[in-house]
Amino acid sequence: MPEDSEPPYFNLRPHDFGSDFVWGVSTAAYQIEGAHDIYDKGASIWDRFVSKKGTIFQGQDGRISCDFYHRYKEDILLMKAMNISHFRFSLSWARIFPDGIGKVSEEGIAFYNRVIDFCLECAITPWITLYHWDLPQVLEEKGGWTNRDILGWFETYIKLCAERFGDRVKQWIVLNEPMVFTGAGYFLGVHAPGRKGLKNFLPAVHHAVLCQALGGRILRKTIPEASIGSTFSCSQITPFSDRSKDIRAAQKADALLNRLFIEPSLGMGYPTESVPILKRIEKYQKPEDLENSSFDFDFIGIQNYTREVVRHSYTVPYLRAKIVKATRRKVKTTLMDWEVYPPSIYAMIAKFNAYTGIKKILVTENGASFEDQVRNGEIADRARTEYLQAHLEQIHKAQNDGLKVSGYFVWTLTDNFEWAEGYRPRFGLVHVEFTSQKRTLKASGKWYGYFLGLGKELRCI
């Protein structure tokens, strides 16, 4: 192995985080599965969105991606070899219900049963995310998340998943990062389905909030012994200066990016005092919605990659706040132009600990994309190893300071389709050569395996 790929010294061990601490990796269906039209699978909004010119880097798509559909055993065996004992993956709604609701695809059900059963055979605990951004296209054509009927569609979908998989799967996540799929997909239009404006964003937000709680209630009723959560994207928000305008701008950005979905789930309603434009959600509310927005989750997942620096801007409507790009601030960045700032994860753990009513917190995504160097068949990615170690140090510091955090999932196992960025950014612990589908463990993946194995020799397959 090249010298610069040797893992840097790390003085922590898994047992330092507690005997019940959960260690895993996270993935998402559209980003890894491929097999986009096999058997009777229906199209998702991402299947449609990638076909639109100019939406994805170099016109790429996830129709094959990592071909996890056919190679799931290979990837799960890699996890086993790396001492990874928890695997978070999502279900493709359109693979299970090709038409959104109605006819059930037994082929789709069978595929996920195979994945679940093989995880258990390998002593890996499956964690299912029910919605990771890939709504069936037929439902989008009926309004998607802007249509209140989605509560009924979502109920049908979740009931079936709970009934078919709940006998073996006990760890469930309702939504993945609802702020991202509503903001990027229904306000900015840079993600599927490509809608823009408040008229789409506000109803999508409200219906996602209601579905988040509804999903929790359905899972609790169907699988009483289940551990149920939902995940939230979050970033430390820092004002660009100590000017009062920049401070207010940062407070608004924090309310929108970090508080919009967690607070309704806790019965606190929307943060309208910080973002008055959110009061327009009242147009889509019914009298019972405040109560129906809350659910007593067993855990929440926080997903942190960076921090954001925010300044006041007259040109940004509604918020009057603008993110100052990391490259303009001349700080160390990842390939996504995200600042490498490990204290952000500590700040987010502290922020969510401050809420009354949150029982347990896990970091359900954290990782980085750097320019991996392939040399003589080895992938030297020291920067990724250092990134992961620095964030784990912050998590351990949070524990020592009395903050609750009880799990860590790396994003992600294999390089994959990174939404609008296509295949350019690689987040994986495992390198994928997408033409041949060859998997190669990166130096960071080897380090994570050694770390989880308490320094034992990494098992090879």
So which residues are the catalytic ones?
177, 365
Contact 388, 408 (CB under 8 A): no
Alpha carbon of residue 415 to chain centroid:
15
Alpha carbon of residue 402 to chain centroid:
26
Contact 28, 68 (CB under 8 A): no
Tell the burial category of 245 from Cβ atoms under 10 Å away from its Cβ (0-12, 13-18, 19+): middle
- Which residues contact residue 114 at a Cβ distance below 8 angstroms, ignoring those fewer than 6 apart? 72
- Which residues contact residue 4 at a Cβ distance below 8 angstroms, ignoring those fewer than 6 apart? 380, 382
CB atoms inside a 10 Å sphere around CB 397: 15
Contact 26, 412 (CB under 8 A): yes
Q: Which of 96, 110, 117 is nearest to 41 (CA)?
A: 96
Q: Which amino acid is at 208?
A: A
Distances (CA, A) of 262 to 209, 357, 454: 9, 11, 35
DSSP 175-199: EE-HHHHHHHHHTS-SSTT---SHH
- Which residues contact residue 237 at a Cβ distance below 8 angstroms, ignoring those fewer than 6 apart? 250, 251, 253, 254, 257, 258, 307, 308, 310
Contact 115, 90 (CB under 8 A): no
Alpha carbon of residue 2 to chain centroid:
32
Tell the burial category of 229 from Cβ atoms under 10 Å away from its Cβ (0-12, 13-18, 19+): buried
Q: What is the DSSP letter of 264?
A: H
Helix axes 198-222, 178-186, angle to 10 degrees: 150
Contact 37, 385 (CB under 8 A): no
